[in-house]
Amino acid sequence: MLIKSVALITGLMALSAKAANRDNFPPLIPSRCEASSDLVFYPYTLENDISRLNGVATSNGDTTIDGFTIDYDIPINKTTITEADGVYQATPDQISRVNMRSKLAALAYCPSISHKGRWDCSNCVEYVPDGVVNATFVSQDQDILGYALVSDTMETIFLVFGGTFETADGEPRIDFNATSYTPVEYTNDLYELYSQTQEDVIFTIQDLIEDYPDYNVDIIGHSLGGAQAEFATLDAYQRLEQLTSSNLFLTTFGEPRVGDKEYASYVAATEIEKIRVVNGRDLVAHLAPMDLDFVHGGSLEYWVIDNETDFVQICENKLESNECSNSIVPFLNYDDNMGYPGLSSDVVCA
C-alpha cells in the first residue's frame, strides 16, 4: 500500500528548514492560550447511541475494532440532503476549493517533494504552477511527511502534511495516551509526533510571514497528517501575533480525533476556519473513539457521501454534528481513508 511503501523510504532530507536565527523560539502569547470559557456541552455517548440505533456490526462478516467495522464496503444509501439548521449541500465552488487542497495533501507522500523539496512533478505544476517549496518536515520514523509551499500568484503560504495512521501490522492505531497540552489538560499522543517537527514548522512560518505579510497561511493535512496540520495551526496561532482567523486556515482530510471537549471547545473558540473533510465511511475520522472522551472541534464538517459524483453534505457545528459522518456509525471502513482526491489510485509524483 502506498503509505507503507513511503514510510519505508530511507534517505536524507535534502532540504530542511534552516533559519538564520534559531535561538529565539517564539513564546506562547498568553491571551491566545486561555481555555474557552464557553465550554460546549457535548455528550460523549453520542457515537455509541447512534451505533445502537443503526445496528450491530455483524452482518456482512465484518471485522470490528472497538465496536466499529473496519471493512464495511456497502455504498452509503443517501441521495438527497434534508437541509436543516446548519446542514446543507456543498456548492461546486466549495467542493473544488477543498479538492485542490486534498491533491496538495496527496503530494506530501512524494519523496521528491517531502524529502527533496522539488516542485517539478506534472501534478505539482498543474495545481500550483508557481509553487516554490520552502521547507520540508519529516518526523523521526518518517510517519509524518510535509512541506511548505509559497505561491505568489495565489498569495498563499501552504503548509501540507501527510502521515500514516497504520501500525506496523497495517491496522489503524487504536492506542491513544494522554499528553499534556496548553491551554487545556490534554490531547492524545499524536501531539508528541507534532513536537518532533514543531521547531521547523514554527520557524518556517515565522520567516515566511515576515517576508510575505499579506499572504494567507493555508494549513492542510491528510489522516495522521490532519492531526499534525491541526496542531501546527494552533501552535502558529498561539505564537505568532500576525496570524489571526482572517489569514490562517485549516483543512483536514480523514483526520483522527486528538482531544477532549475542553480541547475541542478551545479549537472552536479560536474562530479559525477549520474544514474537516470525511470521505464516506472513513474509520480514521472516528478514532480515537468518543467513548474515550475524544471529540473533534471546529466549525465545518464536509461529509463526502459519494466521492465519484462529488456529492457532499456540510454540517456546521462547534464540535461534532450527528447529521454528517456520525450518522452511519458503526459501519465504517479503512479504505475510505485513501479515497480523497489525488490519493485514490497511486499518488503521481513524477
Ligand X SMILES: *[C@@H]1O[C@H](CO)[C@@H](O)[C@H](O)[C@H]1NC(C)=O
DSSP 8-state symbol, 40: P
Q: What is the 3-state secondary structure (H, E, C) of 316-348?
A: ECCCCCCCCHHHHCCCCECHHHHCCCCCCCCCC
Q: Rank residues 211 and 241 by Cβ distance to ligand X and give the closer one.
A: 211
Kindly list the distances between the CA atom of residue 10 and the CA atoms of 29, 120, 194, 305, in Å, as whole numbers in the listed order.
Answer: 37, 21, 20, 37
Provide, rounded to whole angstroms, the least separation between the CB of residue 270 and ligand X. Answer: 25
62 sits near ligand X (criterion: CB under 6 A) = no
Angstrom distance (rounded) from CA 81 to CA 23: 53
Q: Rank residues 107 and 268 by Cβ distance to ligand X and give the closer one.
A: 107
146 sits near ligand X (criterion: CB under 6 A) = no
289 sits near ligand X (criterion: CB under 6 A) = no
Do 33 and 305 touch, CB atoms closer than 8 A? no
Kindly list the distances between the CA atom of residue 56 and the CA atoms of 52, 283, 324, in Å, as whole numbers in the listed order.
Answer: 7, 16, 19
Provide, rounded to whole angstroms, the least separation between the CB of residue 83 and ligand X. Answer: 17
For 326-340, b where at least 16 C-beta lie within 10 A, e where not — what string?
Answer: bbbbbbbbbbbbbbb
Which residue number places its CB atom closest to ligand X? 339
Q: For residues 102-121, which are near ligand X according to CB under 6 A?
A: none
93 sits near ligand X (criterion: CB under 6 A) = no
Longest dimension (CA), the chain: 60
Provide, rounded to whole angstroms, the least separation between the CB of residue 29 and ligand X. Answer: 21
Residue span binding ligand X (CB under 6 A) among the ranges 260-268, 295-303, 324-332, 335-343? 335-343
Provide, rounded to whole angstroms, the least separation between the CB of residue 130 and ligand X. Answer: 13
Residue span binding ligand X (CB under 6 A) among the ranges 30-38, 257-265, 316-324, 331-339? 331-339
199 sits near ligand X (criterion: CB under 6 A) = no
Do 135 and 158 touch, CB atoms closer than 8 A? no
- Assigned C-alpha cell, 101: 487542497
Do 228 and 144 touch, CB atoms closer than 8 A? yes
Number of residues that bind ligand X (CB under 6 A): 15
> x/- binding map, residues 203-232, to ligand X, per CB under 6 A?
----xx--x---------------------
Provide, rounded to whole angstroms, the least separation between the CB of residue 335 and ligand X. Answer: 5
Rounded to 5 degrees, φ, ψ at 64 are -120, 150
77 sits near ligand X (criterion: CB under 6 A) = yes
Q: Rank residues 33 and 292 by Cβ distance to ligand X and give the closer one.
A: 292
308 sits near ligand X (criterion: CB under 6 A) = yes
Chain positions contacting ligand X, by CB under 6 A: 77, 134, 175, 177, 207-208, 211, 307-308, 335-336, 338-339, 341, 344
